[in-house]
Each structure stands twice: as structure tokens, then as C-alpha cells.
Chain A
Amino acid sequence: MNSRTSGLDHSIIKPNRKRWRRVKRDYELYLFLLPIIILYLVFKYYPMYGVQIAFKDFTPSKGIWGSEWVGFQHFIDFFNSYNFWTIITNTLSLSFLSLLFSFPAPIIIAIMLNQMLGKRYKKFVQTVIYAPHFISTVVLVGMLNVFLSPNSGIVNHMITWFGGEPILFMANEGWFRPLYILSGLWQETGFSTIIYLAALAGVNPELHEAAIMDGASKWKRVWNVDIPSILPTIVILLILALGNVMSIGFEKAFLMQSDLNYAASNIIPTYVYEMGIQKAQYSFSTAVGLFNSVVNIILIVTVNWIAKKMTETSLW
């Protein structure tokens, strides 16, 4: 009887004790983790606690805790503000349009590179098309400025050479989105091919051999072997991309923004910066930012759920 109880106790206590022993034995590993845990607590989790100022009237002298609650007032103000729909439309159309073009482009280029003959030339092409990825956003926007300058830019020189009228690209709201998307394609398409090239390198060569035996042309093999084989990779990257729809390249939009294209370039992140940092409307700006994050989370969870149902591939 006695031994039985102790046996029972043993089975409950033992794993815990064993655990504790393991923690003690590996204490150094926890010390390794200490810096990142402290950093995250201070610089990531404390700001999450600070998000409550979205529901308060934050005044610096009273601090985060001392400021008064106002409930959803700032959100209501944002929804009722005269430019609410412009900002939402701008954000969504910029995101979805750039996704529409920048998502398939690297897949197509990767498949083409994968079929390319001539190893050395292929390497050279890759080296060149990866390069713009390393150019800073400031330099990219600077390049747009000099190339598109109405009197000295090479693009307008070309237009006038063909008999057209110079276009004020950077000062025109209608050109904001095309320029944003095209410059994004130029900068990132090449580098984004790497991940698909890795996936293509993993395609089972027997599938190709079998297809060749059956007399499939290269074109048919691309359609029926390559693309289905890299589909899981495509789905995962699409989920990630859709999950980031609301947090698109803020830096570039911010740098490209001017009073003249404001009607198209005023998106949620630039608005958060403008209201928060420039106009010091801390609570309102935080509320706008929080609204953005919540939409983002809803998007990524939904997309992940749909992907799981339809393709059995998902992030979690």
C-alpha cells in the first residue's frame, strides 16, 4: 500500500523534478536567452502595454497609466474623419495592386531562369537582377526623382524624342501608384526569385524524365511538372504577402509623398507618422495604428484558414 502510493507520487513528481534538473543543468542556455528576453519585454511588449493610450486621452505629464479613459472615441473620430475612406482606399489599392504585379513576377522569372541554357550567362543575369535589392529606399526614390525630372530626366528626354510632352511624374497623383509598383518590381523581382529557384531545384528529376519519355515539350513540362511542384512554396509566400497587405512599404510611400500627390499617397502608415510624430496627436495616431494591426491580423488568420481548407498548406 505504502509503496503503491509512493509509486503514484513518483509518477507525478518525477517529470517535474526531472524538468527542474534539466533547467538547472542548462542554466547557461537560459543566460544566453536573457538578453533577447529583456529586449523584447522592454522594446516590444512594453509598447503593447502602451497601446492602451489609443483608448485614453494621453497627456505626457500624466503618463500612460494616469491619463483618462475615453473608450473608442479616437476610433470613432478616425472613422468619421473626412479622409477616412480615402486613406483606406489608398492603402488597400496600393497594396493589392502591388501584390497583383509583384507576386507573380518572381515566379515567372524564376521558372525562366531555371530553364535557361548557358550556366555562366545565367549566373551573370542573376547577379545583375539581384543587385537593386541592395539599393536603399532613399537612393531608389532619389533615382526616381532624377530619371523622371521634367527638364533633365532621361525618361522625359525619351518622351520628347518620340514627340510627346514632358510629364510631371513625381508631382502627379495619377502616377503615384504606377511608379510605386514599377520601382518595386525593378528593385525586388530579381531577389525574390531566389526562394522559387530553391524550390525548383528541389523538383524531382524523375518527373521531368518521365515527361520527356512521354514526349512532353519544355512548355508542357513547365506547366505540368514545375508549377505544380512549387505550388506549396507559392501558397506559403502568398499567405505571408497577404498578411502584410496593410503594412506595405511605408518608407517608399513616405519618401515619394509630396503635397502634390497626397491624394493618392496618403496611406495608413504615413498618416500614423503625420498625426503622431509631426502633429503629436499621440492617442489618435496610436488608435489608427491599432486599427491597422487588427485588420492585418484578421487578414492573415483568414487567409491562412482559407489556404488550409483549399490546399492543405498553411503557416500553422
Chain B
Amino acid sequence: MYQLLKRKSRGDVWFDIINNILLTLVMLLVLFPLYFVLIASFSDPNYIYSGEVWLFPKGFTLDGYERIFSDSSIWIGYVNSILYATLGTIIGVAVTVFAAYPLARKNLVGKSVIMWFLMITMFFSGGLIPTYLLIKDLHMLNTIWALVIPGAGGVFNVIIVRTFFQSSIPDEMWEAASIDGCSNTRFFWSIVLPLSKSILAVMVLYHVVGFWNGFFDALIYLNDENKYPLQLVLRNILVQNQVNSGMMIDVESYAAKMRVTELIKYGVIIVSSLPLLILYPFLQKYFVKGVMIGSIKG
């Protein structure tokens, strides 16, 4: 019987071989562009230009990185992004978690009304211009607050956290604690939060990545270059081809300039993605967890 389940037909053997080959190809297709950016950032721009860099860096050089790090706009962008991500994450996670807990409680009066109040915004919104005019009227233009406050407490995040609370902190626990004279606030701080470290980690990650990768709010609401987050600095270099003159010291001919520009582009891609790339393998399981929790219908 067991033998029968274990035995493989010839068709199944082929199925496995082809399946593994195809998935390996898919993986290589995904991996190669990332790998190529890395080796190109260490290669002599002349070799990149003539198409001689394929699998290994050629004419190893750190010139691109030296130019990038000697430029102040990248550093300013880094500092700003760290600031926005930190503050935004604190506010965002706090609002989300505080909102999710009451909504996870089985018999909170008016729960469904509040839930609808939040969910309606998923289907209908004022749109770009009314929101922009509001931010302007509140004098939040060109301030950090325009980036970290308006989007705090996104509905999807609230639902994810609420679902987590519902499944891991049963109402009976609260009932028992309240009989012992525990207040809601105390219960939340000393029981709910300590038991929810994993979902807090997921929320922190979601927020940090969101703030680190976001650029559109900054584009609309900020006009002072000293306040630009990293992604907006990158946009100038990568998309609009505006490499700062600081990075172009001692480059004379037009052709050489073009080459250095390309080198700098590969370099800034690495520099800007580095924090996430280093952390990614360690954090991956939390993201997967986040998606899984979010997919449970609550």
C-alpha cells in the first residue's frame, strides 16, 4: 500500500524534471538583472559601454561609489528617508494597532459602523486634488507631516492586525482579566502587545519599506531639495538623467561623461537598495507571515 503511494510512473518523473528545470529558469530570469546591476556597479564603465560585462565584473573599480558618496544630495536623501521612515512608522503602526484592537473585540458597541466608516474609503476617495488642497490649507506643504500623517492607519493594515488579534487573543482572556479588575488599557499594554510581537514586526516592516520606497507624496508635497527623500533624489538621477555636477569632477569629454553617468546609475541602485537587500533574507519570513495573516478572511 505504502509502496504503491511511493511508486512513480514515468510520466511523473518527467513532470518533476521539467518542473524543476522551468522553475530554475524562472529563478535565473529574476536573479540575473539584480546580479547584473551589482557587477556593473563595480566594472569599468568602458567595458559596460562596449558590452563586455556579462557574468563577472570587468576592470574592477570603486570609482562609481566614490563619486556617489562624495555627493551631498545622496547623503541628504538618506538622512531624510531614515527620518521619514522612522517617524512615519511610529505614527502609522501606533494608529493601526490602537484601531485594530477594539475592532477585534467581539461585542464592541458600534463595531460594524466603525468598520464601514473605514472600509468605504477603500472604494471611494476624494482623489488627488481635493487631498492636495486640504494639505495646502492645513499649511502642511513642504513639511514632514504631509508625508507621515495623512496616510497613517491604512484599512488593509488595520484588517490584518485585527484578524491577528481575533485569532490569537480570545475574548475569554479579556473576560478573565476584567473579572480580576484589569482595565482595558492595562490589558492592552501588558497582555495584548506582548503577545503580538510577530504582527508588530510585520507592521513595522510594511511601514519601513513603504516609506523607504515611496516618492509620490514627496514629489507633490515637498519643494525644498534639502527635504527630498532618497527616492526623489534617485528619480532625478535615474529617470531624469540629472547627475549632479559634484559627481562629475574631472570628467572632460562628453563621451566620458556619458559613461560615468551610466556607472553612477548602477551604483545608486545598489546604494539605495542596500539596506533592504541586506535585511531581506532575515526579514522575508515576516513578510510572508504578513501576507498569510492578511489572506485569512476575518
Q: B190 within 8 Å of A by Cβ?
A: no
Q: A225 within 8 Å of B by Cβ?
A: no
| Given contacts A116-B23, A152-B49, A290-B127, A186 and B30 within 8 Å (CB-CB) | yes
Inter-subunit contact B134/A46 (CB<8 Å): yes
Within the complex, which residue of A35, A117, A152, A190 is in contact with B99, where a contact is CB–CB below 8 Å? A35
Inter-subunit contact B37/A129 (CB<8 Å): no
B-facing residues in A116-164 (Cβ within 8 Å): 116-118, 121, 124-125, 127-132, 134-139, 141-143, 145-147, 149, 151-152, 154, 157, 160-161
A-facing residues in B244-267 (Cβ within 8 Å): 258-259, 262, 265-266
Would you give the 0/1 interface string for B102-134, flagging 1 where the beta carbon is closer than 8 Å to chain A? 110101111000100110010111111111111
Inter-subunit contact B95/A36 (CB<8 Å): yes
Q: B276 within 8 Å of A by Cβ?
A: yes
Inter-subunit contact A112/B101 (CB<8 Å): no
Which DSSP category, helix, strand, loop or mixed, fits chain A's interface?
Answer: helix
Which DSSP category, helix, strand, loop or mixed, fits chain B's interface?
Answer: helix
Q: A29 within 8 Å of B by Cβ?
A: yes
How many A residues touch the partner, as a band?
A: 35 or more
| Given contacts A33-B99, A145-B265, A218 and B11 within 8 Å (CB-CB) | yes
Within the complex, which residue of B48, B153, B234 is in contact with A139, where a contact is CB–CB below 8 Å? B234
The complex places the Cα of A116 from the Cα of B259 at a distance, in Å, of 43
Inter-subunit contact B101/A29 (CB<8 Å): yes
Inter-subunit contact A217/B123 (CB<8 Å): no
Q: How many A-B pairs with Cβ below 8 Å?
A: 266
Inter-subunit contact A26/B109 (CB<8 Å): yes
The complex places the Cα of A146 from the Cα of B269 at a distance, in Å, of 10
Inter-subunit contact B30/A190 (CB<8 Å): yes
Q: Which residues of B contact A117 (CB under 8 A)?
A: 16, 20
Q: B194 within 8 Å of A by Cβ?
A: no
Q: Which residues of B contact A135 (CB under 8 A)?
A: 213, 273
Q: A91 within 8 Å of B by Cβ?
A: no
Inter-subunit contact A142/B15 (CB<8 Å): no
Inter-subunit contact A22/B280 (CB<8 Å): no
| Given contacts A35-B153, A48-B126, A290-B127, A138 and B183 within 8 Å (CB-CB) | no
Inter-subunit contact A53/B129 (CB<8 Å): yes
A-facing residues in B1-27 (Cβ within 8 Å): 4-5, 9, 11-12, 15-16, 19-20, 22-24, 26-27
Inter-subunit contact B295/A195 (CB<8 Å): yes
Q: Which residues of B contact A (CB under 8 A)?
A: 4-5, 9, 11-12, 15-16, 19-20, 22-24, 26-27, 29-31, 33-34, 36-37, 40, 48-49, 51, 53-54, 94-96, 98-99, 101-103, 105, 107-110, 114, 117-118, 121, 123-134, 149-153, 158, 183-185, 188, 209, 212-216, 220, 231, 234-235, 237-239, 258-259, 262, 265-266, 268-269, 272-273, 276, 280-281, 284, 287-288, 291-292, 295
17 example contacts (A-B, Cβ-Cβ < 8 A) are as follows: A29-B108, A32-B98, A36-B158, A48-B125, A50-B129, A109-B26, A127-B281, A131-B34, A138-B238, A143-B269, A145-B239, A198-B295, A199-B295, A218-B15, A277-B220, A286-B130, A296-B123
